Amino acid sequence: MSEDMNGGMDNTLTDPLSSTNLMSLTIDGQEIQAEKGQTIVQAAQKNGIYIPTLCALHADKESGLKHDLAPGTCRICTVKANGRTTAACTTPISQGLVVENDTPELNDLRKTIVELLFVEGNHFCPSCEKSGSCDLQALAYRYQMLTPRFHYAFTPRKVNADMPKLLWDGNRCILCRRCVLAIRTEEGEPLFVFANRGDKSTITVDTELIQDISEELAQQAMDICPVGAIIRKGKGFDTPFGQRKYDHSPIGSDTACSSGENKAGGEKS
Amino acid sequence: MAQKITIEPVTRVEGHGKVTIHLDDNHQVTESRLHIVEFRGFERFVCGRPFWEAPVLVQRLCGICPVSHHLAAAKAMDMLVGAGDGNGLTPVAEKMRRLMHYGQIFQSHVLHFFHLASPDLLFGMDADPERRNVIGVILEHPELAKQAVLMRKYGQEIIAATAGKKIHGTGAIPGGINKNLSLEDRDAFLNGINGNPDLSADKMIEWSEAALALLLDYHSSHTEFLDGFAAFSSNHLSLVRPDGALDLYHGIIRAVDPEGKRIVNDVDSRDYLDVVEEEVRSWSYMKFPYIKELGPKEGWYRVGPLARLNVCDFIPSPKAQAAFEQFRAYTKGKPNHMSMHYHWARLIETLHAAEMMKELLLDPDLQGTDLVIKGERCGEGIGLLEAPRGTLFHHYQVNEQDLITMCNLIVSTTNNNEPMNRAVNSAAVAQMTGKAEITEPMMNAVEVAIRAYDPCLSCATHAMGQMPLEVTLYDAAGAVVDQQRKGM
């Protein structure tokens, strides 16, 4: 037997499920099965359990992605796996893994992460076109963020409007890395890249390559951004109230077994 | 001994202001000032933002008339995207915006009359403040209070159906609108929201007529007070339709002098800078606009309901037109300079808004699907409209990257700055000359003069009679002679 990266025991050699490439694990006491090699987030998603994500994104028609993204940058998906806190989007499952997910302790931790993201940037939700469709805002509602516990940083941030089809607003960027990984030219060249380090980290745009992107790619860039950092230029607010992503059900409610414990306004299903 | 009286904050208006009244050794009022003590800075912090954010961002100027700022900015953005200057939109876009705006005018006027002004009129401005507030109105005139609540609700629901939300919606976008009006909404507004016939278009017209009748009845028994209180001659400015009709959404700029002679004659709203200039004074954050040609001493003017009815030739809805004819006949066709008649004019406009809402709701264009048009992009946009409190000027310049580089806003209350100061002085002279002691009714009289203009200093006050108010008498050396406080 070998010890996996989370300290759990890999029982695949002796587990009768190994022949079908499935593993058994529990999340919040619920026993589930998932394919070997999947992350905890992927396993939870497949079994209808909600684990919040901002940087990670599943491949589906809505996201336009062929492969799941799991950059591990935002840490909102933090869970306890066999007692150790870890990012669920980057941690592969193992046989017998015990995951704690929807607990008061972890949800408070997630609320703290949301608060830190809000005070670190300049998120002026009321005038943001992504308001109502913003994952960060939706998580703030889910975790009932009323007022931040931390001082606002008022970090000076840039707005890059030198692109014909897109506007990048650093005030709202949470450095999730989705755009870096997913938005590329047909030849696979990245249009968005990370620059600098630590609290100087930012996104820079290849202003030469991005000049000729298609309308579809520009729209995908806006859609894939979990906040309002990437916005289509020249139009805005064309989605009326009532038709925005989270107007009728809160984030996570589309996941079958999502807990309603800390969910504002959502129905437990 | 010279004295200075300070009323801070002024109550039952939107926002924070303070009044200082200076008395000389003989207790004669020598000077009165309305200070606007808030600094907000919208003109600066919209710079650097993309232009399509402006209609959503600037409506945070106000919580009572956000639609007016929303639409004025949207009209400026129409120019930017080549969709005309108020007349180039699709029928559904233009009419949805108009419906939104008449909903705004209606609910705001109702709020002002019943919630802010009626306690003074129903109980008298020297009545006990414990009674002279909206709770007093509810307790002693419950049917009237219920009507007021339902009328305001109706206007707010119209806004929600057209802008998406009752406050701070996103309906108007550059070049048009982001939704049409559903048949379900239309039928509900015509026949009664949620099946309640008290929330129907016809009931709004009926109750608007009743409110106007109430004011006229009050006028008949308080003629001297309403005609004389804080009355003074002035110029009047507003937008009008090219044929001279009252038009609250779009028009040309017209102004008349105290005798009714036109001093600004039908100027295109895009040329507003040829007409209006602003003066800065050291003691207020609010500027003092004036008609450029006449200069700051002679060119100051009034805006709002009174000015609009003094400037326009007629009102294009039958019941309001009949009321307008009575209003104009009262001053024999000359401009009406009586500040308290703002209430009269406001209720005529309330009736007009109710009639216009019904007319628009019956228009099948509202169910159209052609929502947005765009033309040739330019770098400058100007949007003017008649907000509940008066003419609203929005002016933006945008760079090639679509970011706003310049913003100039002249809001309705700014236009009324000089008149409000004069109204304060008029009331102070009448109430405080020769008096050695300040009384609460004296202070309220000054506020009544300001309230007639329904100023929007921002959106943070209430009307429960508990607003902190402090009046201090200073002698010439700055020592406190007397101090009165309430709600603190």
Bigger pLDDT: A142 or B230? A142
Q: Are A236 and B401 inside 8 Å of each other by CB? A: no
Per-residue pLDDT band at B283 (split at 50, 70, 90) = confident
Q: What is the pLDDT of residue A8?
A: 36
A241 touches chain B (CB under 8 A): yes
Model pTM above 0.95 = no
The reply to whether residue B53 touches residue A241, judged by beta carbons under 8 angstroms, is no
Indicate whether A37 pLDDT > 80.
yes
> What does the pLDDT average to over A157-183?
95
pLDDT digits (tens, 9 = 90+) for B321-342: 999 999 999 999 999 999 999 9
Three-state SS for A78? strand
At B28, the pLDDT band (50, 70, 90 cuts) reads confident
In order, the DSSP letters of A14-61 are T-GGGGGTEEEEEETTEEEEEETT-BHHHHHHHTT-----SS-B--ST
- Report the distance separating Cα B118 and Cα B111, nearest Å: 10
Residues 6 or more apart from B479 whose CB is under 8 A from it? none
pLDDT at A92 (0 to 100): 97
> Residue B50 and residue A161: Cβ atoms within 8 Å?
yes
> Which run of H or of E encompasses A107?
helix A104-120
Confidence class of residue A25 from pLDDT cuts 50, 70 and 90?
A: very high
Q: Are A92 and A110 in contact (CB under 8 A)?
A: no
Using one digit for the tens of pLDDT, what is the confidence trace for A200-243? 899 999 989 999 999 999 999 999 999 999 999 988 999 999 99
Average pLDDT over residues B7-34: 71
- Taking contacts as CB-CB distances below 8 angstroms, the residues of chain B near A129 are 52-53
pLDDT over 70, % of chain B: 88
Gap from B191 CA to chain A (nearest CA, Å): 23
pLDDT at B441 over 90: no
CA distance A34 to chain B (A): 43
Mean per-residue pLDDT for B340-367? 97
CB atoms B169 and A241 under 8 Å: yes
Set of chain A residues whose Cβ sits within 8 Å of the Cβ of B53:
127, 129, 236
Given a cut of 70, whether residue A6 has pLDDT beyond it is no
Cβ within 8 Å, pair A159-B403: yes
- Confidence bin at B476 (pLDDT 50/70/90): low
- Interface A–B counts its CB contacts (< 8 A) at 55
From A97's Cα to the closest Cα of chain B, the distance in A is 47
For chain B, the average pLDDT equals 87
Q: What confidence tier does B177 reach under pLDDT thresholds 50, 70, 90?
A: very high
Instruction: Kindly indicate the confidence band of residue B202, based on its pLDDT and cuts at 50, 70 and 90.
Output: very high
CA atoms within 13 A on the CB side of A9: 6
Q: A140-149, A160-169, B433-442: which has the highest mean pLDDT?
A: A160-169
Write out the two tokens for B364. 């099948």
Question: Looking at the partner chain, which of B164, B401, B402 has a beta carbon nearest the beta carbon of A242?
Answer: B164
Average pLDDT of B358-384? 96
B483 pLDDT more than 70: no
Chain A residue numbers touching B169 (CB-CB < 8 A): 241
Q: Give the per-residue pLDDT at B434.
A: 74
Position B421 scores a pLDDT of 87
> What are the CA-CA distances from residue A245 to residues A123, A242, A266, B91 (Å)?
18, 9, 14, 29
Q: Picking from A42-46, B450-454, B479-483, which range would have the lowest pLDDT averaged per residue?
A: B479-483
Q: Residue B457's pLDDT band (boundaries 50, 70, 90)?
A: low
pLDDT at A15: 44
Q: Does A237 touch chain B (CB under 8 A)?
A: yes
How many CB atoms within 10 Å of residue B226?
21
Sign of the four-CA dihedral B51, B53, B56, B62 = negative
Residues paired with B176 in a beta bridge: B173, B372
Instruction: Please write the tens of the pLDDT for every residue from A173-187.
Output: 999 999 999 999 989
Distances in Å between the Cα of B384 and the Cα atoms of B56, B155, B252, B303 are 16, 22, 9, 13
Picking from A90-99, A136-145, A151-160, which range would have the lowest pLDDT averaged per residue? A151-160
Whether residue B286 is predicted with pLDDT greater than 90 in this model: the reply is no
Pick A240's closest partner by Cβ from B179, B372, B402. Answer: B179
B211: its two tokens? 């409110």
Region B306-321 average pLDDT: 98
Q: What is the pLDDT of residue B160?
A: 97
pLDDT at B116 over 90: no
- Give the Cα separation of A40 and B427 in Å (integer): 73
As a whole number, mean pLDDT of residues B366-379 equals: 95
> pLDDT per residue over B257-266, tens digit each?
999 999 999 9
Spatial separation of the C-alpha atoms in residues B211 and B202, rounded to whole Å = 14
Residues of B in contact with A126 (CB under 8 A): 56-57, 60, 168
Task: Specify the pLDDT at position B458.
Answer: 40
Angle at B139 between CA B136 and CA B143, to 5 degrees: 115
In angstroms, the CA A255 to CA A250 distance is 11
Q: B50, A231: Cβ pair inside 8 Å?
A: yes
User: Tell me: the pLDDT tens digits for A254-268?
Assistant: 875 554 443 443 332
Q: What is the pLDDT of residue B123?
A: 76
Reply yes or no on whether the pLDDT at B269 is more than 60: yes
Residue A1 pLDDT grade (very low, low, confident, very high; cuts 50, 70, 90)? very low
